[in-house]
Amino acid sequence: MAACWNFPGPTRLCLRQGDITTAPVDAIVNAANAGLAGGGGVDGAIHDAAGWRPLQQACQDIIHQRGPLHAGEAVITPGFALPAAWIIHTVGPIWRGGEHGEAAALRSCYLESLRLARERGARTVAFPAVSCGVYGYPVDQAAAVALAALAEGLQQAPGVDEAAMWLYADSALQTWTRAAVRLFGAPSP
């Protein structure tokens, strides 16, 4: 199932249900940790699907060059065994009640990921619900921040034709769809 909202030009924002590691896109976004060390949830699934050893080597090369990432930052590696050519790793904020810059950091995750996708020529990008797992960001609040950031990024800087949120659970898809309808109205036909 997919719902999409069209923006000026060829750009659109979609919500899709499924496994992000199988997304037929140019780049997928990974909800990574600061050390790019792999982990559970979507991060572990992406590492498993891409090939743990080559992806981990690429991630550790980045960490050795620049040090750990801060919340809101993003870096890029090849996609290795994934259908996607690129993996964009972004570190989401840990939810601490909403008064510690979490929304700004989460917004930055999406905008920085779009920027890296554009730089590599990726026309289609799949995003997970960054920070909504073990980092504890409330899903309804994260959806509003993420969708607004993606709409802004798609409209202000062309290059990416489609940004899609890939949501695994039906309940997550329903929450994100409600947020998108509040922000953008009914999906495009």
The token pair at 113 is 């990921």
Catalytic pick from 26, 43, 140, 170?
A: 43
How far, in Å, CA of 118 to CA of 123, rounded? Answer: 7
| Cβ within 8 Å of residue 133, ≥6 positions away | 31, 40, 41, 42
Query: Measured between alpha carbons, how far is 25 from 12 in angstroms, rounded to an integer?
Result: 14
Q: Spell 129-164 as b/e; 16+ CB within 10 A means b.
A: bbbbbebebebebbbbbbbbbbbebbeeeebbebbb
Number of residues in the chain? 189
Whether the CB-CB separation of 33 and 18 falls below 8 Å is answered with no
Active site residue 26: no
3-state secondary structure of 49: helix
Q: In degrees, to the nearest 5, what angle opens at C-alpha 36 toward C-alphas 35 and 37?
A: 85
Picking from 39, 37, 187, 27, the residue whose alpha carbon sits closest to that of residue 121 is 27
User: Would you name the residues annotated as active-site residues?
Assistant: 43
